[in-house]
């Protein structure tokens, strides 16, 4: 599975105008199949990682709501 970091780095490189796939693969540390997967499914990965971020934010917000203040008994 491609990590969020790898996906973001590929996106940045492509947006900056790098079109040499070998150079992208070497800089990000991907196999040929992984790079092809990212390039063919950009929208899927955008949605997938956005959903992961949303779920993480909800989890953090829930933990913050459950946390007691220092003056409250535990």
DSSP-derived letter for residue 67 is P
Look at residue 26 in the predicted model and tell me its pLDDT. 93
Look at residue 1 in the predicted model and tell me its pLDDT. 84
Write down the domain spans for the chain: 4-66
Query: pLDDT tens, 2-50?
Result: 999 999 999 999 999 998 999 999 999 999 999 999 999 999 999 999 9
Look at residue 72 in the predicted model and tell me its pLDDT. 78
Distances (CA, A) of 73 to 4, 18, 28, 37, 70: 40, 57, 49, 52, 8
Look at residue 74 in the predicted model and tell me its pLDDT. 60
Q: Are 27 and 8 contacting, i.e. CB atoms less than 8 angstroms apart?
A: no
pTM for the complete prediction? 0.78
């Amino acid at each position: 599975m491609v990590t969020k970091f790898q996906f973001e780095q590929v996106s940045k490189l492509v947006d900056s105008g790098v079109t040499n796939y070998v150079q992208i693969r070497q800089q990000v540390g991907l196999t040929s199949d992984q790079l092809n997967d990212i390039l063919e499914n950009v929208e899927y990965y955008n949605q997938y990682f956005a959903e992961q971020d949303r779920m993480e934010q909800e989890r953090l917000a829930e933990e913050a709501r459950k946390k007691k203040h220092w003056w409250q008994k535990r």
